[in-house]
Amino acid sequence: MSVFPFSAIVGQQEMKLALLVAAVDARIGGVMIFGDRGTGKSTAARALAATLPTIRVVDGCRFNCEPEHRDDCPDPCTNKRVRKMAVPFVDLPLGSTEDRVLGTLDLERALANGEKKFETGLLAKAHRGFLYIDEINLLEDHVVDLLLDVAASGENLVERDGLSIRHPARFVLIGSGNPEEGELRPQLLDRFGLSVEVRTPEKIDDRVEIMKRCDAQEQNAQKFAEKWKGEDAKVLRQIARAKKAIGSIKTSAKVLRDTAEICKAVGADGLRGELTLMRGARALAALEGDKVVTRDHLKQMAPLALRHRLRRDVLDETGSTVRIERALEELFG
């Protein structure tokens, strides 16, 4: 199947923004997308992965090692040849077992040759790319725990089946789910950097535009990709520029203070909210080509960085987004 171009996705600005921010600064740690089926969640994630430039890896390495950082590789990673590969996009299906996710002892080698060898799992495959989990709220809790832990530490530790292996696993975790079908535990939600809520576009014009583009892609995927190539290249340049610039972006004490105040006002637990909001605002500034982080950046990122961290109040009907907007209004007018 050919991938839908990222820039051809109609609407869904917030989701696209969250994905871009996560692509610019991987430390933000994962994007959670809430929304109904058929809103283009996986399409967007897949599209972004396909847009990104190819990465350089050691040829034949099972862990997608960077040629410059081959010391971390558990295999003897000595191949001098370097090849280019597309940014990996791993789709983790519901019902995946721990073995499949983490990796496990290579059965065939063990049985046939009596050799102890590690068979890589999905985490190794996703290294330096994206790991997408549809319906993460239906995934087994212990698998979600594992994933979030690895996503946060950037390293997969395997201590089982008589194996003791560690390998780098840095990826952008993208989870999606429909809150109507069950909730994610709050302590897990908190580990996601950003969260967005997507809805199907309701305006007839948008829906018609989507039909048109889907059709054009089905008719001739190549031609369609060609048509959007320019736009996608722009996105690509934007990300590359932002990645470069992010180190030199200034965050004033005043902005930091604002960040803390927002988090306090909405009652977001823990420090993660503040850190993510600050990083997110910085990545946003970088994406927009600004040199300093401003209050506007904060305001734009606050709902994404905080809405899933608010303490749930069983009796309060107000949605989290509204609560954040209200707090922003009160603080900054």
Binding site for other proteins (CB under 8 A): 1, 36-40, 42, 91, 93-97, 99, 105, 107-108, 110-114, 134-135, 137-140, 142, 161-162, 178-186, 199-205, 207-208, 210-212, 214-216, 218-220, 312, 314-315, 317
Closest separation in Å from C-beta 96 to other proteins: 8
Closer to other proteins by Cβ: residue 214 or 331: 214
Q: Is 237 a catalytic residue?
A: no
- Spell out the SS3 assignment of the chain: CCCCCHHHCCCCHHHHHHHHHHHHCHHHCCEEEEECCCCCHHHHHHHHHHHCCCEEEECCCCCCCCHHHHHHCCCCCCCCCEEEECCCEEEECCCCCHHHHHEEECHHHHHHHCCCCEEECHHHHHCCCEEEECCHHHCCHHHHHHHHHHHHHCEEEEEECCEEEEEECCCEEEEEECHHHCCCCHHHHCCCCEEEEECCCCCHHHHHHHHHHHHHHHHCHHHHHHHHHHHHHHHHHHHHHHHHHHHHCECCHHHHHHHHHHHHHHCECCCHHHHHHHHHHHHHHHHCCCCECCHHHHHHHHHHHHCCCECCCCCCCCCHHHHHHHHHHHHHC
Residue 209 beta carbon to other proteins: minimum distance, rounded to whole angstroms? 9
Quick one: 182 or 289, whose CB is closer to other proteins? 182
Q: Which is nearer to other proteins, 134 or 190 (CB)?
A: 134
Q: Give whichever of 115 and 329 is closer to other proteins, judged by the CB atom.
A: 115
Q: Based on CB atoms, which residue is closest to other proteins, 1 or 253?
A: 1
Q: Which of 128, 213, 272, 309 is catalytic?
A: 272
Report, as residue numbers or ranges, the catalytic residues.
272
